[in-house]
Amino acid sequence: SDAEHRTRTGLDPESLRRAVRDHLFYFQGRHPATASVNDCYLAVAYAVRDRLFQHGVQSLDLLLHRPDARIVAYLSAEFLMGPQLAANLVNLGILDAMREAMTAFPHDLDRLIDHEEEPGLGNGGLGRLAACYLDSLATLEVPAIGYGIRYEFGIFNQQIRDGWQVELTDKWLHLGYPWEIARPERAVEVRFGGTTEGYTDADGRYRVRWNAAEIVMGVPHDTPILGYRVKTCNLLRLWRAEAVQSFDFASFNVGEYGRAVEQQVSTETISKVLYPNDASPQGKALRLKQQYFFVSCAIQDMLRSHIRFGGTPDTFHHRWAAQLNDTHPAVAVPELMRLLLDEHGLEWDAAWEVTQKTFGYTNHTLLPEALETWSVDLFGALLPRHLEIVYEINRRLVDGVRRVYPGDEGRVRRMSLIDESGRRSIRMAHLACAGSHAVNGVAALHTDLLKTQVLADWVAMRPDRFHNVTNGVTPRRFMVVSNPGLSGLITAAIGDGWPSRLEALRELERFADDPDFRARWRDVKRENKQRLAAAIEQRTGIVVYPDSLFDVQVKRIHEYKRQHLNVLHLLTLYRRLKADPSLDIVPRTVVFGGKAAPGYFIAKLMIKLVTAVGALVNDDPDVRGRLKVVFFPNFNVKVGQIIYPAADLSEQISTAGQEASGTGNMKFALNGAITIGTLDGANIEIRDEVGPENFFLFGLTADEVRLRKAAGYDPRAVYESNPVLRGVIDLIASGALSPDDPSRFRPLVDGLLWHDPFMVLADFQAYVDCQAQVDALWRDGEAWTRASILNVARMGKFSSDRSIRDYCERIWHVEPVRA
């Protein structure tokens, strides 16, 4: 009936109210009057999901009728999706309607949004970028599937106990996850281990058979991804590992119950937990199993669908454009080769052409320790057939190098897929380059460094395959959802087209000198700061003042990101105040947030250093509220949505040449924070866009860093020659911050004094001087507001819609399919 249909699809408050009531009653067996927060949350989420699937059915139908349309497959070991409810309501255009609908229930919509737990299936920038790209693909009406792993436990929850990080298991599924749908009927089999054997097929051709030792099932779990105010609904398809048979009945029957479930437990371990490292790979067999598991599921799924839609194996690349999000899915290259050669009978050259035309590879880091390699022994034990294929790819690659550069064996050694120095290992970045038609970096500087340093040999052979695609973020989540105050003000000024046409923000420029607009701009920021202040007090007990300058650094804790440089500045301010308690300084609240990899000792010590400085500073009567230091625990997407809108100053202070792009820098600037930063990653492009007068620049350039190191950098000499620096370093070394363990921070101090690979001391004075310029601008409230408005007005380039358009045009050659 009509009414029934509206209950599933209607977007008006009355239909929504009825939908929520139905879900509560019929699916959860709850009466609205007695429903808990979680009951109401689930009911609302299901009501929203119905409406997403409604769109989803339409976009899938569309593909059925357009077998020529090319589909993007975004292969990523991580998708850091963040909370789904508010973002889906915004994209559907029913946030207000749902808010009104919920007045009839015991818990209002904002309470439910606040209650929602996020799936933390990523470490940081790389996983969040994948999520922003899914939002933009759908918004641009490009058919796409994100393929990844449905980790049972995502990135750990961080608690701070006694100032130290403690990791707790992230049980994001415990209250039920309403956004996904399991599709057991679409499960695929993935094999591991065993041996290979050659045989001659019916046509007399030599073929290879892989006799695997272990079979695992991959069960897809689909989450609908709706674009902003469009009908396109794409898919995030995450795979869960399941044992093929849950019992070994032979063991069970002889009374060995434990042995019977052992195999099942070991199989299901594959999708159990996300590795919480975002820098140094551990080389663990389980991690390689995870990578091959989801990649094999994805490629099989793509091939199956291609053939069901009437395609043939040799036209696979007409249907699919697959992007490798870093090297984590690089084993897709030999996997597609294997399927085309062994299962579909293609010849090598044909299979290789399809493979190269299918894949693109995005590099996300230059850090040498983050470049993945797998020991040949481990790789061969788990994937014997793939190792043979990698060897054959390499044989042909090396032949090619020798043809172009006869006698240049150094080049052959450098470019080989196999690193022969020490234990033999496979260079996954080289495998990804070899198997792709396009390779890209994620910001202009990063791509330059990639081309001139890490991949220079590859550029020399295939210059036209290298591209830059500067990262972007979705303005829907990071402005409309998280900063309704600012979004409302912007819409009132320039209309409501900007969230899907972010360049339109430039129209704000003409309001930058309007006193009335500036005042409203400040009011919005103040409200956001009050909201953050309340959250800080609730989570840490620390009271902060919304009138102070909110100086914020949130990101993974890492030496190259230099949270300790920020701490050195803090202690500089503190020592000034101690020397002269009546000093008129700009009141600051310095907020830190971010997780440290559990095995990264120095990063964990940096967290303890921040909290120790907080303990010293926050209640010191000489400081009298002019300096507050906060470590906001468990930084994740949800916390970010409170923090970015409340920041005045965005700390982007990595050593030049180290941060591939950064995306937090964009989220801050889009919310009116002004950046203090180095010429690193996308900071450079942000500064180019917003104008040098609206950006606080300091520090060595990437070239200067390189030259300084080559000339023999001596951090000790910097320390000796700068009394202010000496004062703060000595304060840390003295044990005054750690009376219970005076030598606690020795490893940090010694690392800075004797090695300082990230040039913290070299950039110290420039940073402190630059912070003085920040103070000067802050004291001129009108000038600060103007710069803040101009930052937002000129950030249009950094919408992930622009990034995705770049990928579509230059890398994937795909076009929108309009409903």
- Which residues of this protein are in contact with ligand 26V, per CB under 6 A? 123-126, 129, 275, 277-278, 281, 326, 364-365, 370, 372, 442, 471, 659-663, 681
- Between CA 78 and CA 362 the distance in angstroms is 14
> What's the closest the beta carbon of residue 305 comes to ligand 26V, in angstroms?
28
> What's the closest the beta carbon of residue 126 comes to ligand 26V, in angstroms?
3
Structure tokens at 495: 């209309």
> What's the closest the beta carbon of residue 442 comes to ligand 26V, in angstroms?
4
Determine whether 205 is exposed, middle or buried from the number of CB atoms within 10 Å of its CB (0-12, 13-18, 19+). Answer: exposed
Hey, which bits of 507-602 come out as E strands? 549-554, 588-593
Q: Look up 195 and say whether it is catalytic.
A: no
Which one of 667, 687, 744, 797 is the catalytic residue? 667
The region, left, alpha or beta by phi > 0 then psi within -120 to 50, assigned to residue 204 is left
- Between CA 77 and CA 2 the distance in angstroms is 43
* Sequence letter at residue 314: D
* Sequence letter at residue 103: T
> What's the closest the beta carbon of residue 807 comes to ligand 26V, in angstroms?
13
Place of tokens 């209640």: 619
Q: What DSSP character marks residue 342? A: I
Query: Shortest Cβ contact with ligand 26V: which residue?
Result: 125
Q: Look up 628 and say whether it is catalytic.
A: no
Q: Look up 556 and say whether it is catalytic.
A: yes
Which residue from 569, 574, 626 is spatially nearest to 592, judged by alpha carbons? 569
Q: Would you tell me the crossing angle of helices 563-579 and 601-617 to the nearest 10 degrees? A: 20
Which one of 306, 529, 561, 638 is the catalytic residue? 561
**Sheet of strand 418-419, all strands in order from the earlier edge strand to the far edge:** 373-375, 425-427, 418-419
Could you give the maximum distance between any two Cα atoms of the chain, in Å? 92
Q: Which is nearer to ligand 26V, 54 or 799 (CB)?
A: 799
CB atoms within 10 A of CB 53: 18
Q: What is the DSSP string of 173-207?
A: TTT--TT-EE-GGG-EEEEES-EEEEEE-TTS-EE
Q: Which is nearer to ligand 26V, 293 or 719 (CB)?
A: 293
Handedness of CA 259, 264, 267, 268 (dihedral sign): negative
> What's the closest the beta carbon of residue 372 comes to ligand 26V, in angstroms?
6
- Between CA 663 and CA 652 the distance in angstroms is 10
Q: Which is nearer to ligand 26V, 116 or 278 (CB)?
A: 278
Which one of 107, 221, 555, 794 is the catalytic residue? 555
> What's the closest the beta carbon of residue 779 comes to ligand 26V, in angstroms?
33
Q: Which is nearer to ligand 26V, 354 or 684 (CB)?
A: 684
Q: Which is nearer to ligand 26V, 334 or 662 (CB)?
A: 662
**Contact at 8 Å (CB) between 420 and 440?**
no
Which one of 128, 328, 338, 556 is the catalytic residue? 556
Which one of 7, 663, 678, 785 is the catalytic residue? 663
**Contact at 8 Å (CB) between 521 and 160?**
no
Q: Which is nearer to ligand 26V, 134 or 217 (CB)?
A: 134
- Between CA 545 and CA 115 the distance in angstroms is 26
Q: Look up 663 and say whether it is catalytic.
A: yes
- Between CA 365 and CA 279 the distance in angstroms is 9
**Contact at 8 Å (CB) between 231 and 110?**
no
Which residue from 35, 194, 41 is spatially nearest to 117, judged by alpha carbons? 41
> What's the closest the beta carbon of residue 662 comes to ligand 26V, in angstroms?
5
Which residue from 572, 547, 551 is spatially nearest to 769, judged by alpha carbons? 572
Q: Look up 667 and say whether it is catalytic.
A: yes
- Between CA 737 and CA 535 the distance in angstroms is 26
Q: Which is nearer to ligand 26V, 593 or 681 (CB)?
A: 681
Q: Which is nearer to ligand 26V, 165 or 663 (CB)?
A: 663
Which one of 21, 23, 306, 364 is the catalytic residue? 364
- Between CA 320 and CA 300 the distance in angstroms is 12
Q: Look up 555 and say whether it is catalytic.
A: yes
> What's the closest the beta carbon of residue 270 comes to ligand 26V, in angstroms?
15
> What's the closest the beta carbon of residue 664 comes to ligand 26V, in angstroms?
8
Q: Which is nearer to ligand 26V, 661 or 785 (CB)?
A: 661
Which residues are catalytically annotated? 364, 555-556, 561, 663, 667
